């Protein structure tokens, strides 16, 4: 049964009941407006799976570059905010278009192969054991923050080649940047998330410079790969 949804209402996307349970809204869109223009915006929401597949298969017409997103305008509606210009080199992997996307994948593929990931098993087991020991010794804790987020961040730091001592800061910054993508945050929230994203980028750039100064055989993780690629032009 359709809920009472006015698809011409500029505030429908952030209505409380829609945010709490968006499935009825999505089902309505699939039936009535599979390609729906958000009222008052130059943003379109594609809800039909067939149309989604068509869209991602047409990179020459529909770029993966994350140029503009929506946020809460503070009055129940949405407003756009820009991220990066179209074609900016900061668009990488999931937000890059061919042939740049293809080059990024080839650069990383061998370092994310099953064999490469298997080589990380001893470090992953050590990290899991350490976090379990810390969590169990602390009494009642938040399992997501105390274990799930911690293990994931430490493993990714190991994979990238970031010093483990940085993981609490990295985890905090990554979580704070999530407000850029959630679509319900106000301008103050996205501004704060942008600051966190810039700080995160600054840390990675500093670490890349550090790794590039090391002998080639001592350059750790993906930063070593990037450093070699930068040196090669």
Alpha-carbon distance of 53 to 59, in angstroms, equals 11
**CA distance to 12, 42, 122, 195, per residue, from 184 (Å):** 12, 17, 40, 18
Q: Give residue 87's pLDDT.
A: 92
- String of DSSP letters for 162-193: --GGGHHHHHHHHHHHGGGTSS---HHHHHHH
Cβ–Cβ < 8 Å for 186, 204: no
* CATH number for the domain running over 99-231: 1.10.630.10
pLDDT confidence tier of residue 231, bands split at 50, 70 and 90: low
Q: Give residue 117's pLDDT.
A: 87
Alpha-carbon distance of 227 to 119, in angstroms, equals 21
Average pLDDT, the chain: 91
- String of DSSP letters for 65-133: ---EEEEE-SSSSEEEEE-S-TT-TT--GGGPPTTHHHHHHHHHHGGGSHHHHHTTHHHHHHHHHHHHH
Report the residue count for the chain.
233
pLDDT confidence tier of residue 230, bands split at 50, 70 and 90: low
38 DSSP assignment: P
pTM of model > 0.85: no
Phi then psi dihedrals of residue 209, to 5 deg: -60, -40
**CA distance to 11, 70, 72, 198, per residue, from 186 (Å):** 14, 10, 5, 19
Percentage of the chain beyond pLDDT 90 is 73
Q: Is the torsion defined by CA of 35, 36, 38, 39 positive or negative?
A: positive
Domain ranges, ordered by start, for the chain: 12-82, 99-231
Q: Give residue 111's pLDDT.
A: 80
């Amino acid at each position: 049964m359709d809920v009472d949804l006015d698809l011409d209402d500029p505030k429908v996307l952030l209505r409380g009941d829609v945010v709490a349970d968006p499935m009825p809204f999505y089902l309505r869109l699939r039936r009535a407006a599979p390609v729906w223009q958000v009222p008052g915006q130059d943003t379109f929401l594609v809800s039909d799976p067939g149309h989604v597949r068509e869209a991602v298969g047409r990179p020459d017409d529909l770029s993966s570059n994350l140029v503009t997103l929506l946020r809460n305008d503070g009055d129940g509606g949405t407003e756009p905010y820009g991220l990066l210009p179209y074609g900016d080199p900061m668009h990488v992997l999931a937000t890059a278009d061919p042939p740049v996307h293809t080059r990024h994948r080839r650069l990383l593929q061998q370092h994310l192969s099953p064999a490469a990931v298997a080589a990380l098993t001893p470090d992953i087991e050590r990290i899991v054991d350490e976090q379990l020991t810390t969590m169990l010794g602390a009494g009642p804790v938040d399992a997501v923050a105390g274990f799930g987020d911690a293990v994931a961040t430490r493993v990714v730091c190991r994979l990238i080649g970031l010093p483990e001592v940085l993981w609490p800061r990295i985890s905090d910054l990554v979580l704070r940047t999530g407000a850029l993508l959630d679509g319900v945050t106000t301008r103050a929230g996205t501004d704060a998330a942008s600051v966190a994203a810039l700080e995160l980028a600054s840390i990675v750039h500093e670490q890349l410079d550090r790794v590039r100064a090391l002998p080639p055989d001592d350059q750790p993780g993906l930063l070593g790969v990037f450093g070699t690629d930068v040196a090669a032009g």
